[in-house]
Structure 1
Amino acid sequence: MKYVSSYILSSSATNKQPLWYSFKICSITLLFSTFIACSKLQPEPTDTEFSRLQERANAVEIIRDNYGVPHIYAKTDADAVFGLLYAQAEDDFKRIERNYVWAMGRLAEIEGEEALYSDLRVRLYMTLDQAKIEYQKAPQWLKDLCIAFADGLNFYLKTHPHIKPKLITQFEPWMPMFFFEGSIGGDIEKIPLDGIKAFYGSAQNIPLQASIDSMSEPKGSNGFAISGKLTESGNAMLLINPHTSFYFRGEVHVVSEEGLNAYGAVTWGQFFIYQGFNEHNGWMHTSTYADFKDEFIEDIFTKNGQLYYKYGNESRKVEESTVTLKYRDGNVLKNKEFSMYHTHHGPITHMIDNKWVATKINWEPAKALEQSYIRTKTRNHKEFHKMMDIRTNSSNNTVYADSQGNIAYYHGNFMPRRNAGFNFSKPVDGSNPKTDWQGLHELDEMITLLNPDNGWLQNCNSTPFNAALEFSPKSNDYPTYMAPDAENYRGIHAVSVLAGQDNFTLDKLIALSYDPFLPAFAELIPSLIGAFDKSKNKDKKTSDAIEVLRKWDFKVSEDSVAMSLAHFYGMHYLNKGNTPEGLKFVEKIRYFSNDTTEKERLKFFSEVLIELENDFGKWNIPWGEVNRFQRLNGSIASSFDDTQPSVAVNMASGRWGALAAYGSRRFEGTKKLYGYRGNSFIAVVEFGKKVKAKSLLAGGQSGDPLSPHFNDQIVNYVNTEFKDVAYYREDVEKRATERYTPGDH
């Protein structure tokens, strides 16, 4: 237990944890020490498979730094992947398993019948047998990495018999074919489950468009790239700022003697750095709204007991197959068989006006895995551009910077070529061959940007046509389906903070990415104040609250009462206010600000004041007393408790334009708001003769409450105190708290 005890000493000295936190860590450390001492972590089986895995483990070294970040060193890429997956399993095996249970379509075996349609959605695009075929077709170098993936996880399970998987007791090399991109759900989650359930569950129609939930924290990310002509050092810089659910990715560093030396965020269970950097360049992905999927309304009919669909002058057979899915019912596993239907457009996913609809997306798992891994080893923009030409990273935009001074932006990556005579933002007639995809757009036909004259570029899940002021791509140069993305308040905010800036340092880049101004409230709150000023009934409570807002500068801070008032007012309006159909979020806020009645605004504000008094005993409560960070356990579905310790957070929701997004809400039994999504892994990187970087992780590296790295970055997180990244071996050695080969503990 040298690692744990030595870390506790350094943690209390350097990381400035609050007293309650230190007591908690000391207690859990004693428990952890006792647990490890009493557990036989590494069995000594004599089977040849274990001997093979042990020999492989001996070729890997893992060094943990003082924040628990694993630095994995090996001679080959495959052995490095083995160590990477082993280290990930040490930190959060349950999330690895959950990701693969979900990705393979086996969630109902744990969660019960309600999850069957999530599983069915997966199998409509690829069955287990098809995944095995895709694996066999992959190039040998990729198969070697997939084998290493399975070996690393299986060796972890063999050497940690106290870990009891919920479902997957043996990982297989073909499993990554189901989980090949790294983004939040990837392409398949853009296919609504309500359609799958309605069609395959009860043969019912669903509406054309699923409604957007304005109450949920927006999914997305920020990426900034800064040219060397605007930096103090003359080197290009990159902001890596994903806004995922907390603990969705860990922070890792993986190195081989075959050219791999990547650092950054890894989605649990994957063998490539998803958002990160190497010594030469860095890449940040933001979720795209580029239109890469289409729905085809099929003309189905029956002939001689066989289903057909019309396609031009042809009658084509509908491909029919069956799949048997398991689901848990209490302590019993039951089976349910589904018939699945496919046309050449793809699987039937739902029904509109009693017509079957097939949904076509990108589905080339081996090719997508190739692209995801090759990205981490590129050394310059030429190589990076060549990697992007694989064109399978369909759900992401990419912000790029490198040591040669280049900055670049790619809007989407997989883009079907369509007939301009049809509106592909809506379902199209699948019986008309002219609606078929006409291949893919070449990379250079897509929306890209390289070294704009203004010296910076940004994307915040927003339109690419404002990525670099007047040097942005021009919408008239591209088909509408390439960029239907709306502007959002984070994009508006990003442009305002970057414009006119120079002499960037890493610290200045951090400061700008945490700028506290909230542009949505700069539009919403003045209209409320104006409504009050025109009203005749001015009671003291409302007058006092309006005066607080009148003096506000629209910046979030821990002690701001105005921030509390504005947040709850905005959320109440989103929940209760009515808007015309089809408005984007910015349009909704502007509608509430300009096109609603003054009476309605004051009514909603009065209801908010009453709500605050009922929940907190007063309306004038500072934001930090309401907006909290708490991590009580390692469960995937976090629980929260107002009676347990938590930390004030001076950040706000990305929906209001907060660049440093902190999505918080009430949970069952709570009055306070607790963070669950937003700034998760954050890094700023400078590319010069030597790469420099600083990073921060929500909570900590480990998902184990007994680990000292479960909560050791909370104070850093809320105080915006980034750690220096240990990238070069000499720096890793200086900060090493433990070194071992897989299986040693």
Structure 2
Amino acid sequence: MMRKLGKALIALLVLVAVVAIGLMVWEPLSVAVATPPPPHRYDSVIARDTFGVPHIFGRTDPDVAYGVAYAHAEDDFATLQEAVAMSRGRLGAMTGADGAKVVYALHLLGARATVSRDYMKQPADVRALLDGYATGLNTYAARHPGEVRLARLFPVNGQDIATGFVLRTPFFFGLDQYLGALSGDTPLPREAAGATPDAPDPRALPAAQDAAGEGNMNGSNAFVVAPKRSADGFTRVVSNSHQPWKGPVAWYELVVHSGTGWNFAGATFPGVPYPVLGHNEHLGWTNTVNRPDLVDVYKLTLGQGGDTYLFDGKQVPLQATRVWLHVKIGPFVLPIPKTVYRSVHGPVIVNKSGAFALHYGGADQLRMVEEYHRLTRAGNFAEWQRALAIQGVSATNFLYGDAAGNIAYFYNAAFPNRKPGFDYRNVLPGDTSGDLAAGTVPWGQVPRNVNPASGFLANANNTPFQAAGEGSEMKPGDYSPLLGIETDTTNRGTRAVELMGKDGSISAADLERIKYDTGVSKLSWTARWYDDIARVDPQGDPALVAAKALMATWHWRFDGNNPAEALAAILLRAGQSWHYPRKAKKDPRTELAKAAAYLTQHFGRIDPPLGTVLRLRHGQVDLPLDGAPDVLRAASTWDEAEDGRLVVNHGDSFIMFMTWDKAGRVSSTSIQPYGAATTRPQSPHYADQAPLFVAHKTKPVNFWPTDLRRNVERVYRP
């Protein structure tokens, strides 16, 4: 009997071992290997400047794209692989549950189906560019097999690169918030729930200003000055887009030069074959996230079997597709079945409350791939506007300046066509075509502010009706409420217009001072939040009495020169966590107590210097920072380290100052929080820009080859 039990146990252990091995190896064997791009010999040259920033030269644009991929892989191949795994539906197998959620979105939005249908419709030069980039990744992977994180992930092709664009684009205007809310059966973002967005303080609107008059809560800043407002008659653009300091949407700086006349300096994201902001010889721009209401939610009336829905009096089949999400759990990859649904409106999520369809701006199209490239190649304002009019980029503000002295702000969005008489901020009935319209609002109706009389423009994720100062603003009444333009303000937006409006002759030094400003405007929402804190009743609590007394000494800045700044910064983060997402206001008494307790626990006092608390840490680099959430010197989010330090991970990231002189010649400087090689600790450029970044300093971009030759570290062919 014991012998039989022993044999059974051995057999069971063998079976478990076989299953375990199968779970470890089945996923790569189950995936189809992509067809690589057509064979082509790419001729690229990479010149690294003294900060390791790659300047990529090529005879053609695809030659350059090949070099872009190879250079980026040298500096951050780990993150590039995540971008590729996302596009190929394998991110869950690489990173686990969080990656599987992204793959679910990939299937739900039909990103690969969109690319399969539309890829060959793209211009041949754009497809060649994507193929060149994919080949650069394949070449690096083949030469460095030990760095490849997932078997059979390579080769990739141009379709894989294009899929990443389709999937990520709607997340810039917050579609992911709707997906998360519906999947979790939790309340929708406030626009969809029918609440009116927070109106700005009337005193902060441009019409009442003196001389001048968050995409997500982390935000971005942009500043543009025309020659007539500039102290020296130059045109200036400041790019200050806020992104995470590492990861799949971290900025990567580069300069490209093609023999066909494509010359551009700026930054890109992992998986993108060209810069998406910066400048060429003639013009430049930057982006900030805007928050138009581009998502409409419809509740479907399902049939008795749940496989149809009522639409215009008929039962219509609910499209259902079974997909498998591959989820890494420890050493294993488990297959998780999931069904994705689709109606005539768009993707459908079924939860306990019912079936909800999403209809959103810029859905199911691939035009952004061409648009971004055409923008970088534009030679003047008219050409640049024609590229923007492609309307492939679903959202984000564009702030522009050029050598001819033009400045402009385009509140860019692919506004869905909507019908009067329906409240698109609420969940709509999905059983009728009466509230559903196809297509996008024409380009001519997209809000814009071109060459305002004030001579300046700014945006910091605030309403577009606060950008240029008194007498120069767009008027809300000129635009249909069906566009869903936000009316929210941020402290950064109010402060930027406030500072620029008071300066009648903005010099380069003035603009730099404004960009690094750490102040809180007395006209902003932040002032009202701090007023609420000042009115807190301590009720005899000594800790609250001390905290209130300290806050009363604060000088309304985060420059490191006042003992209340660390406490004020934590409180501002608490306020930002409810204000920008339009959530219920937090209790100021509770937040004051929590902030004081945190500082006391970790520092033994409530008044440690800001630079002691707020840190830039990367590898062995550990430096003090100034700034705070929602100030122009942005330290938006942070991790709480074991020693209590607040280690910033998001905020001011890639910063670029662009200038066109009176002769129309461009020059620029830039800076990153870490360096060019953010995931390569052995590289001298892992964190070499950090000391400059914390000191509010920049480095030369060396856009012109003659300047690069004096500042080159190495030159090679990849």
Whether TM-score is above 0.5 comes out as: yes
147, 161, 177: which one pairs with 2:145?
Answer: 161
Give the C-alpha shift of residue 628 in structure 1.
Answer: 0.5
Whole-angstrom distance in 1 between the partners of 2:260 and 2:576: 53
**Are 2:677 and 1:702 aligned?**
yes
Aligned residue runs from structure 1 range 263-412, under 5 A = 263-302=265-304, 307-351=307-351, 353-412=353-412
Which residue does the alignment assign to 1:626? 613
Conserved? CA contact 1:206–1:351, under 8 Å: no
Q: Distance in 1 between matches of 2:303 and 2:143?
A: 57
In the alignment, is residue 671 of structure 1 matched against residue 668 of structure 2? no
Counterpart position of 1:476: 477
The alpha carbon displacement at 1:693 in A equals 1.0
Per the TM alignment, residue 550 of structure 1 is displaced from its structure 2 partner at its CA by: 3.0
The C-alpha deviation readout for 1:678-728, integer Å capped at 9, x for no partner, is: 011001111242101111111111021110001101110000011122011
Which of 496, 499, 502 lines up with 2:501 in the alignment?
499
The answer to whether structure 1 residue 692 and structure 2 residue 678 are counterparts is no
Offset at residue 521 of structure 1 (A): 5.2
State the identity as a percent: 24
Letter in 1 for 2:157: E
Distance in 1 (alpha carbons) for counterparts of 2:611 and 2:419: 53
Q: Deviations over 1:68-94 (max 9, x none)?
A: 111011111111111111111111111
Deviation at 1:456, TM superposition (A): 0.8
Pick the aligned partner of 1:119 from 103, 118, 122: 103
Moved more, 439-448 or 550-559: 550-559
Q: Separation in 1 of the partners of 2:289 and 2:51?
A: 28
CA distance in 2, matches of 1:538, 1:343: 57
Report if aligned partners of 1:409, 1:449 keep a CA contact under 8 Å in 2.
Answer: yes
Matched, 1:106 2:93: no
Report the counterpart of residue 519 of structure 2 in structure 1.
Answer: 517
Q: 2: CA distance between counterparts of 1:415 and 1:261? A: 32
Q: 1:128 to 1:332 in 2, by over 3 A?
A: farther
Does the aligned pair in 2 maintain the 1:238–1:282 contact within 8 Å? yes
2 CA distance for matches of 1:437 and 1:425?
Answer: 15
| 2:159 matched residue in structure 1 | 174
Q: 1:195 to 1:511 in 2, by over 3 A?
A: closer
Q: Mark the CA change 1:171 to 1:501 in structure 2 (over 3 Å): closer, same or farther.
A: same
2:596 counterpart of 1:609: yes
Per-residue CA deviations over 1:555-606 (Å, capped at 9, x if unaligned) read 112243111121234456788xxxxxxx7449889x77xxx7xxx74x7545
Do 2:86 and 2:99's aligned partners in 1 also have CA atoms closer than 8 Å?
A: no
Shift of 1:352: 7.1
* 2:187 aligned residue: 207
Amino acid at match of 1:709: H
Task: Say if 1:106 and 1:326, in contact at 8 Å, map to a contact too.
Answer: yes
Change (3 A) 1:226 1:544: same
CA distance, structure 1, for counterparts of residue 670 and residue 189 of structure 2: 39
CA 1:586–1:150 in structure 2 vs 1: closer, same or farther (change >3 Å)?
closer
User: C-alpha displacement at 1:334, in angstroms?
Assistant: 3.2
Query: Does the CA-based 8 Å contact 2:615-2:625 persist in structure 1?
Result: yes
Q: Is the 8 A contact 1:393 1:414 kept in 2?
A: yes
Secondary structure of 1:179's partner? Answer: helix
Helix, strand or coil at the partner of 2:260: coil
**How far apart are 1:465 and its partner, in Å?**
0.8
Cα–Cα, structure 1 residues 98 and 129, in superposed 2: closer, same or farther, change >3 Å?
Answer: same
Pair 1:413-2:413 in alignment = yes
Amino acid at match of 2:569: H
Residues 299 and 356 in structure 1, CA contact (< 8 A), matched pair in contact too: no
Residue type at the aligned position of 2:172: G
Q: Deviations over 1:609-639 (max 9, x none)?
A: 343222112222111110000012xxxxxxx
8 Å Cα contact 2:221/2:632 also seen in 1: yes
Amino acid at match of 1:678: G
Match of 2:15 in 1: none
Aligned partner of 1:737 in structure 2 is 713
1:580-595 correspondence runs (5 A)? 584-585=579-580
What is the distance in 2 between the residues matched to 1:196 and 1:106? Answer: 23
Partner residue of 2:57 out of 73, 96, 115: 73
Farther off after superposition, 248-257 or 514-523? 514-523
Instruction: Find the aligned partners of 1:51 and 1:424 in 2 and give their Cα distance.
Output: 46
Q: Which moved more, 1:363-372 or 1:678-687?
A: 363-372
Distance 1:273 1:473, change over 3 A: same
Aligned in 2, Cα 1:609/1:301: closer, same or farther, shift over 3 Å? Answer: closer
* Alignment deviations for residues 326-380 of structure 1 (CA, whole Å, 9 cap, x no partner): 2224333332333322112111124473244344442344311011111111111
**How far 1:477 moved relative to its partner?**
1.3
1:190 is matched with which residue? 176
Distance, in Å, in 2 between the alignment partners of 1:92 and 1:365 is: 29
Contact persistence 1:627–1:664 (CA under 8 A): no
How far apart, in 1, do the equivalents of 2:237 and 2:611 lie? 30
Q: Match for 2:222: what amino acid?
A: G
Describe the shift of the 1:667–1:500 C-alpha distance in structure 2 as closer, same or farther (beyond 3 A): closer
Quick check: 1:447–1:482 contact (8 Å CA) kept in 2? no
In the alignment, does 2:565 pair up with 1:563?
A: yes
What is the aligned-residue RMSD (CA, Å)?
A: 3.1
Change (3 A) 1:434 1:52: closer
Kindly indicate whether the alpha-carbon contact (under 8 Å) linking 1:121 and 1:196 is maintained by their aligned counterparts in 2: no
Is this contact kept in 2: 1:349–1:359, CA < 8 A? Answer: no
Counterpart-to-counterpart distance in 1, 2:179 and 2:583 = 26
Deviations 1:406-445 (A, max 9, x none): 1111112311121121111122122221211243211121
Distance 1:554 1:307 in 2: 58
The 1:196/1:332 distance shift into structure 2, 3 A limit, reads farther
Checking the alignment, whether the CA contact within 8 Å between 1:224 and 1:240 is kept in structure 2 is: yes
Compute the displacement of 1:388 (Å). Answer: 1.4
Q: Deviations over 1:275-327 (max 9, x none)?
A: 2111111111111111222212222215xx78322222343222232223322
Alignment length (residue pairs): 650
In structure 2, the residue matched to 1:249 is 251
Equivalent pair of 2:216/2:581 in contact (CA under 8 Å): no
What amino acid is aligned across from residue 178 of structure 1 in structure 2? T
Listed as ranges, the matches of 1:643-654 within 5 Å are 646-654=622-630
Give the structure 2 partner of residue 3 of structure 1: none
Aligned to 1:13: none
Q: Relative to 1, partners in 2 of residues 1:523 and 1:485: Cα closer, same or farther, differing over 3 Å?
A: closer
Amino acid in structure 1 at the alignment position of 2:156: F
SS of the residue 2:221 aligns to: strand
Q: How far, CA to CA, are the matches of 2:400 and 2:615 in structure 1?
A: 33
The answer (yes or no) to whether the contact 1:178–1:365 under 8 Å persists in 2 is no
Q: Secondary structure at the match of 2:147?
A: coil
Residue in structure 1 matched with residue 462 of structure 2 by the alignment: 462
After superposition, the Cα gap between the structure-2 partners of 1:586 and 1:139, relative to the gap in structure 1 and judged at 3 Å, is closer
Task: Give me the TM-score of the superposition, normalised by structure 2.
Answer: 0.84
How far apart, CA to CA, are the structure 2 residues paired with 1:194 and 1:608?
29
Contact 1:289 1:485 in 2 (8 A): no
Task: In structure 2, give the amino acid aligned to 1:428.
Answer: L
Alignment-derived partner of residue 210 in structure 2: none
Show the 5 A alignment for 1:629-644.
Answer: 629-632=616-619
- Distance in 2 (CA, whole Å) between partners of 1:360 and 1:134 is 19
Query: For residue 242 of structure 1, what is the amino acid of its counterpart?
Result: S
Alignment TM-score, normalising by the size of structure 1? 0.81
Unaligned 5+ segments in structure 1 are 1-48, 199-204, 576-582, 633-643
Greater mean deviation of Cα atoms: 105-114 or 729-738: 105-114
The residue identity in structure 2 corresponding to 1:516 is T
Measure, in 2, the Cα distance between the counterparts of 1:561 and 1:325: 51
TM-aligned CA deviation for residue 52 of structure 1: 5.6
Aligned residue for 2:8? none
